[in-house]
Structure 1
Amino acid sequence: MKTKLVNLYQKIRSSYWFLPSVMAGMAGVLAFILVKLDLLNAQSGLIDLSWISLTGAAGARAILSTVASSMITVTGIVFSITIVTLSLASQQFGPRLLQNFMRDRGNQVVLGTVTSTYLFCLLVMRTVSDAPASPFVPHLSVLAALLLAILCVGVLIYFIHHVAESIQVTNVIAAVSRELSAEIERRFPDKFSEAVGAREIDYALEELLPARFDEEVRSLPALSGGYLQAIDHAGLLELAVDRDLVIRIGHRAGHFIVAGAPLVEVWPGTAADGEDLVKAVNGHFITGQKRSQEQDLVFLIHELVEIAARALSPGVNDPFTAISCINHLGAALCDLAQRIFPPILKKDAANRVRVVSYPTTFDRIVAASFDQIRQYGRTNAAVSIRLLQTIRLILPFTCYPEQRNALLHQAAMIERGSRDGLPEESDRRDVHAKYLAVFETMETCFGLTGGD
């Protein structure tokens, strides 16, 4: 249930309708309260508010009408600028980055402010009356409309500045990098230290799983297709305990699921005959039309990789942007190398394995970070050199031989790619020198020339 609520929150957060709708509702409540206060004051006459609207009902109606018409015009301007920004972001940074712009709270607040002011003025204007029998001018509400109009002027100025800042590539990269760092902190809160000891990674699965597990498991199909956005591990653990099962998950968040394809493996296979189990298991997997960063760390990495890949395309040819992405990816990997990855085995109260998660390993994250940039940048000496410098930077932060092996594997592929990709001998020598510097760092930090 918690996983579904978090997934719903992420969808609401990336929507452009929720916050403006809430603010519009608040504007309606504010209009109702202020009009009621105006009515009470008109009946009691405790406070003289006539100075606010010196021209009476006609003047109040004119003020409210002017503010309302101005706000609907500003709303059109804000909407137009937003559409242009989204179009530019899609072309320059990639369609995956649109979610970041849609989640921008500043843009949502601006749209909500101008639409709420428009609605407030309409609701107040209908209460203005110049009938001789019962004239009524909501002075306090008119004052609030004027204050909201002044606020909207400030909000519009902020919006123009904010949009100009948000479409700058350095700010886009920095924003994605901040989200990546926050996600690493959230998913891997514990750092390695001598006090913590060795990693608790369950590689010897055959010693922990039931006997003849692989021979007796049965695959359960996915009932719906799409990108796997989230997995309710706690719910799967509870289900496995209730039905005395062992469930092995065959996918991680971010994978594309095909309806009817294997989703999980269940042991014992004889317990997987009922359709109710298939539905129960599928109920703990959330799929959608697009990937989500909720449980998908690689998705945030791919956002930076996509910016770098587009920058390295022949039509753009912007290695400086690619190098900026490499710098931020390197910083994230330096942090990640010091983190303890959670165990892939979920156990019950009796310490029996119940759920086997799809493993998220450092080498897979390194591959996701560097593979495509390495492939697209093999013909660019500056990018190849910066990749090797970044690997050299990450090495001192590593804690395990497997991490170093993954980095050295990338360094070797970068160096081999430069031999074919760089026509100039001097560039190839520069790349090779940086490649040798990687092993110098290995020897300096660990007394090794390899990953062992």
Structure 2
Amino acid sequence: MGVVADRVVSILLANGVMGMRLWFGQVRWVYRQRRVWVLPAVIVLGAVALSWLVPYLDRRWAEELTRLPTGEFAGTFDASVMATVLSAVASGTIAFSGFVFSVVLLVIQFGTGTLSARMAPRLTQDWVVGAALGTFMATFVYTLLVSLRLGARVEDYQPVLSSLLAIGLALASVALFFTLLTRVINFLRLVKVLESVSRAGARRAAEVHPYPLGSQGDTDVDLGPPDRVVRHAGRAGVLLGFDEEVIAELAARAGCVVVAVPAIGDFVLPGAPLFEIHGGTSLAERRLRRHVVFGIERVVDADPAFALRVMVDIAIKALSPAVNDPTTAVQALDHIGALLLNLSGRELGITHIRDRAGAVRLIHRCSDWTDYLSLGVDEIRYYGRDSIQVIRRLRALYLDLLRSCPSERLAPVRDRIAAVDDDSAAFSTAFDRAVATSPDWQGLGGPAPIDDRQC
């Protein structure tokens, strides 16, 4: 029986570590991807290289290309005509690109103004936007350079491959335009935005909190004062993540325990404590810093708490007197409830990462259940306490949590039910108070539960 238990624990540890490693890699990639110019610049540089390579292949294979049967490509590409056509494609592409990305910027401005300022990176750093910008610019650069070469050396070669590639780039630009159009439309659709953020938060929850509730066992570690403190040596920024597996391995080799001082999502100042090292003297500070990622802002792809933050921002913006749209807040609560339910069955709070021998090597802080629950509902309740629709939807959310959460996590839910009861009692008329005491998964107008229970 003990062997089986050890095997189960080892599988859980292996799966958890694998998920954390993949998560750290994704965080690092997302951070690099947030530099908007990188992907377009790579694509444009590739187009510049192709504008020299493909004409070279046209000249080198000129004899083979002219042997194609009449009616195929070889007999139909006139250099002077193609130079004119490619110049027209270049001018049309650059004009079209300016129009498309002006529209994209307007959409970003509209989306951040009506939804949340935290939504802008979801579109500006989307790979489709970068690929579309890069392909449009690559088509312009490639066709312009090839047309210049054709104009300078008209009699030199038949531009068979050069023209085919230009046609291919134009078709790729059309395909990416439709893909970009779909992304932009989805960015303006509230339900799509909430679904995207909620799914990203659920994925990150599975990676940041990979262990089921209660699977960690006794995790108390008696640590005295730290022997060394590693401080942040770079610029001020938000901690996006660290490679837990590698840091735990480094600590195991050095025979020490590493405690991460800031939590993911904290803003860390230069010189602020980053790690506390207990025991061991051979662990190099630069090796620890190498496995930490900082950014200028929090990202949904690194932090499930920030996914809740974005959805809550959308809800409370909708509840502002200037907007007064409680239905949007109800839709946000649908996805907030789904993410909270996902988190309720996971090991939260202080996380202990063990080495292969089972010894704790890395300790870091994460949000616990009360933190996540407070983040997800407290501000919405505060700003929506005058809305019967929001109060009824909150009651329904709490009823879902009461039915599905582990028993040890029900106390904070009951505290918030009491707060909703107080808000309901504050309505001015008896009729409003009676309506506000019923849960409704649609806010208003939804059918009552079959058993007619109230929370």
TM-score by length of 2: 0.80
Q: 1:62 aligns with which of 84, 97, 102?
A: 84
Q: 1:372 aligns with which of 379, 399, 402?
A: 379
1:119 maps to 2:119? no
1:396, distance to aligned residue in structure 2 (A): 2.3
Give the Cα–Cα distance (whole angstroms) in 1 for the partners of residues 243 and 153 of structure 2. 63
* Partner of residue 76, structure 2: 52
Alignment of 1:170-185 (within 5 A): 170-185=191-206
Change (3 A) 1:344 1:159: closer
Q: 2:414 aligns with which of 408, 413, 420?
A: 408
Give the Cα–Cα distance (whole angstroms) in 2 for the partners of residues 410 and 201 of structure 1. 29
1:346 maps to 2:329? no
Change (3 A) 1:161 1:216: closer
Which letter maps to 1:83? L
Change (3 A) 1:108 1:283: closer
1:16, distance to aligned residue in structure 2 (A): 2.5
Give the Cα–Cα distance (whole angstroms) in 1 for the partners of residues 173 and 226 of structure 2. 66
8 Å Cα contact 2:225/2:278 also seen in 1 = no
Change (3 A) 1:59 1:89: same
* Partner of residue 447, structure 2: none
Alignment of 1:158-197 (within 5 A): 158-189=179-210
* Partner of residue 4, structure 2: none
**Greater mean alpha carbon deviation, residues 114-123 or residues 288-297:** 288-297
1:84 maps to 2:90? no
* Partner of residue 105, structure 1: 127
1:327, distance to aligned residue in structure 2 (A): 0.2
Q: 2:391 aligns with which of 384, 389, 398?
A: 384
Give the Cα–Cα distance (whole angstroms) in 2 for the partners of residues 139 and 425 of structure 1. 82
Give the Cα–Cα distance (whole angstroms) in 1 for the partners of residues 40 and 350 of structure 2. 41
Q: Deviations over 1:364-406 (max 9, x none)?
A: 211111121122111211111101101111222222x221112
* Partner of residue 142, structure 1: 163
* Count of aligned residue pairs for this structure pair: 418
Alignment of 1:6-405 (within 5 A): 6-44=26-64, 45-47=66-68, 49-53=73-77, 56-129=78-151, 134-189=155-210, 198-202=214-218, 205=220, 208-209=221-222, 213-214=223-224, 221-224=231-234, 225-267=236-278, 281-341=288-348, 344-399=351-406, 401-405=407-411
1:242, distance to aligned residue in structure 2 (A): 4.1
1:430 maps to 2:435? yes
Give the Cα–Cα distance (whole angstroms) in 1 for the partners of residues 110 and 200 of structure 2. 21
Q: Deviations over 1:20-64 (max 9, x none)?
A: 2333234345444532342234334322545433xx332111101
1:291 is paired with a residue of what secondary structure?
coil
Change (3 A) 1:434 1:7: closer
Q: Deviations over 1:68-118 (max 9, x none)?
A: 000111111122112112212221222211111123233223222211211
Identity of aligned residues (%): 24
Which letter maps to 1:23? I
**Greater mean alpha carbon deviation, residues 39-48 or residues 81-90:** 39-48
Which letter maps to 2:102? S
1:319, distance to aligned residue in structure 2 (A): 0.7
2:410 is paired with a residue of what secondary structure?
helix
Give the Cα–Cα distance (whole angstroms) in 2 for the partners of residues 219 and 188 of structure 1. 26
Unpaired runs of 5+ in structure 2?
Answer: 1-20, 441-450
2:238 is paired with a residue of what secondary structure?
strand
8 Å Cα contact 1:334/1:394 also seen in 2 = yes
Which letter maps to 1:187? V
Q: Deviations over 1:322-378 (max 9, x none)?
A: 111100111122223234559722334554433222144222211111121122111
1:303, distance to aligned residue in structure 2 (A): 0.9
Change (3 A) 1:67 1:398: same
| RMSD of Structure 2 on Structure 1 (CA) | 3.3
Which letter maps to 1:246? V
8 Å Cα contact 1:60/1:137 also seen in 2 = no
Change (3 A) 1:145 1:306: same
Change (3 A) 1:350 1:117: closer
1:321, distance to aligned residue in structure 2 (A): 0.9
8 Å Cα contact 1:57/1:130 also seen in 2 = no
Give the Cα–Cα distance (whole angstroms) in 2 for the partners of residues 354 and 364 of structure 1. 25
Q: Deviations over 1:178-234 (max 9, x none)?
A: 212222333345556xxxxx442546x2xx32xxx3567776554453221112323
1:423 is paired with a residue of what secondary structure?
coil
